[in-house]
Structure 1
């Protein structure tokens, strides 16, 4: 076994009502002025005001940047940075799902290191820790509140940059399922399938280790048991809390074992067509695993078992087939689109998307390396 390093925020709070506890912890850290990075929906429905009131009670002033786009851009990072500098904020709070978290990471990283967010594309390109980041999560999916991954769309190149950097890890993550109750069905489904993708890709990754394996398989089981319930009834707090833990476990897995071609390919679809990340992952997941089954059948069989399939009488290939069938069934049950054609992906764009996917850092840990033709073929199969 090769050596492994395990990255995770130093403090992580999970469970109904933990938001108030987080505000007290922030006071203890001695911060005076926070920049809250969020989106306009969370601002409109009053979630931002709720967080600001909690901070105010702790004598922490706050400014708000609510311009985060669903696929956060280089422009969003620059705009947020401008507000941070105006107010001389000493910490950043991200509030929302993966988009505000990633945007906030970009802002906090450039605030401390200077330059432009594009300078940090790739792995560990920054010299010093970002401004302290507290991530308050409102979705059960991306796990961006606890990872060292930051995905930013470069508006000039129309690609998503993968910034994988130990310095973008938040110092405190907060998963309060009470903040997740209002999530619409479509978002619950997409973010839940994103979490499943994290767990599956981490489990078949060439960088997997016993810690990430344990996290990934437990996440798969919990998502299989709870995602349908969370989508069906958003106020089912037991399902919401289970999904909050599951997506966190999946985050622990991929934050350390990394990902694979599902993410490398989904990033291109998101950057090129501005599509929802979780939906792209969900559509691509079975097709990439069919490709991976050539070398990962035994691991995919383990995932089928974690999803509740009786694999005792199956060989590895049958187990892999059962895993792929079960993933498709879950996606269909939560109303994920059947293919990329429904998302208006154009066949003539596939060669360009494949070229960019092969450059994405997430693909380097896929269990088997693909040619350009093979990536195009997977995209085609997913149409």
Structure 2
């Protein structure tokens, strides 16, 4: 292990209520003709028009691409990139969830460096020319993509979620306005919230964790653990929403610098093949994968437990770690997180591709960061467990 660590994050992070009002100034400092990459939901909610108003006030012209839909694909990237080039844009605004932000990251890099997004998988091609300025504006408290140097794009030709991590994919600026998350439906609040919790937990137990990321990860876990239920039950609980946004932001910085682990490695094939949203697939895998990994990260899980529940002091690491895993299961039950079967994934259909899923999971590199590094057969078995996993029965109450 190296004796030093590095930390990457955007040059500018604006956080807090009404921070979106600074969009025009932030964009005009970086370009004159923006491409807004978003989706039809954000447009119908009026968020795209808000962005346009702030750009108009700052004298910035703009184009829009509003066809991002669910998980980001190479098709979305190609179309948005074409608009960026044809309209001579020089700055990008990503408005929405992780799908919009990841799409925008790919466009910002390709517009400077050329090639197809698939060229960059496994660092086969390095974005040496950097990227066009990207301002990321998340509307969910979950992915943390606004502060990471990672993009995940589905290759529609191979049904593989390409996880690409290079400094060039890091947004130049992030504007995190928790007011934008008030419109998130309950199921989205739950899925993205558990996604953020997964980021924080995996950043903390990762083999590549270091003291700086540990501080952020633990803080994020506590914020999310204490506020996700409130945000889920009361859509207008702005304090809970604000804490969730801050938790997701911290978790994003933590995992971008410490890397994620087995949950994310297994999650990507579920999304690519069965089109399950990333937050949902992470959430449906987290409890079983934590149980699988527990014995190899007892100290880390115990530290998490004592940080969020000081009253556990005096118990053994084994007991505290088990309590943490059990609390995660209880949380997923209370948020109505489905298993793979309940989501609608047919077991026989999964059986046809489960070996490919396991291979793709390992190829992503994330399982190698897990405290317990799984074999291909163990991942196959975990997929089978997760398909029918009953979190209610699994709880040790």
Give the corresponding residue for 1:245: 246
Q: Distance in 2 between matches of 1:107 and 1:229?
A: 36
Q: CA deviation at 1:67?
A: 1.0
Cα distance, 1:319 vs structure 2: 1.7
User: Cα deviation per residue 1:289-314 (whole Å; 9 max; x = unaligned)?
Assistant: 11211211111112222332633232
| Residue of 353, 357, 362 corresponding to 2:357 | 353
The question of whether the paired residues in 2 share the 8 Å contact of 1:309 and 1:322 is answered with no
Residue 365 of structure 1 aligns with which residue? 369
2:305 touches 2:323 (CA, 8 Å); kept in 1? Answer: yes
Deviation at 1:121, TM superposition (A): 1.2
Instruction: Specify the alignment match of 1:382 in structure 2.
Output: 386
Matching of residue 93 in structure 1 with residue 93 in structure 2: yes
Coordinate RMSD, CA, aligned: 1.3
User: What corresponds to 1:299 in structure 2?
Assistant: 300
Structure 1: distance between partners of 2:100 and 2:203? 23
Given that 2:269 and 2:361 are in contact with CA atoms closer than 8 Å, whether structure 1 keeps it comes out as: yes
The residue that corresponds to 2:255 in the other structure is: 254
Counterpart residue number, 2:130: 129
**Matching residue of 1:175:** 176
1:163 aligns to what SS in structure 2? strand
Which is worse superposed, 339-348 or 203-212?
Answer: 339-348
* Contact 1:307/1:326 (8 A) holds in 2: no
Q: C-alpha separation between the residues in 1 aligned to 2:273 and 2:308?
A: 33
Shift of 1:215: 0.5
Partners of 1:361 and 1:132 in 2: CA distance: 28
* Alignment match, 1:63: 63
Alignment of 1:162-311 (within 5 A): 162-308=163-309, 310-311=311-312
Partner in structure 2 of residue 344 of structure 1: 344
Q: TM-score, normalised by structure 1?
A: 0.97
1:185-216 per-position Cα deviation (integer Å, ceiling 9, x unaligned): 11111100000000000000011011110101
Q: Describe the SS at the equivalent of 2:311.
A: coil
Equivalent-residue separation in structure 1 for 2:29 and 2:102 (angstroms): 25
Distance in 2 (CA, whole Å) between partners of 1:222 and 1:18 is 20
Report the CA distance between 1:241 and its aligned residue: 0.5
Alpha-carbon separation, structure 2, partners of 1:80 and 1:53: 22
Look up the SS of the partner of 1:174 in the other structure: strand
The total of aligned residue pairs comes to 381
Deviations 1:252-285 (A, max 9, x none): 1101000001001001100011101111111111
Q: Using the alignment, how far apart are the partners of 1:192 and 1:299 within structure 2?
A: 21
Aligned to 2:135, the other structure's residue is in SS state: strand
| SS in structure 2 of the partner of residue 153 of structure 1 | strand
Paired residue secondary structure (1:135):
strand
**What corresponds to 2:22 in structure 1?**
21
Cα distance, 1:27 vs structure 2? 2.0
Instruction: Could you tell me which runs of 5 or more consecutive residues in structure 1 were left unpaired when the two chains were aligned.
Output: none
Per the alignment, residue 39 of structure 2 pairs with 39
Q: Can you give the 5+ residue segments of structure 2 that lack an aligned partner in the other structure?
A: 388-397
* Aligned mates of 1:307, 1:265 — CA distance in 2: 27
Task: Give the 4+ runs in structure 1 shifted more than 6 A.
Answer: none
Give the aligned partner of residue 317 of structure 1. Answer: 318
Contact 1:298 1:319 in 2 (8 A): no
Contact 1:13 1:22 in 2 (8 A): no
Write the distance in 1 (CA, Å) between the matches of 2:368 and 2:12. 29
Q: Distance in 1 between matches of 2:308 and 2:160?
A: 34
Helix, strand or coil at the partner of 1:358: helix
Q: Residues 57-103 of structure 1: CA distance to partner in whole angstroms, max 9, x if unpaired?
A: 10000100011121110000000011111110001110001000000
Contact 1:39 1:67 in 2 (8 A): yes
Q: CA deviation at 1:28?
A: 2.9
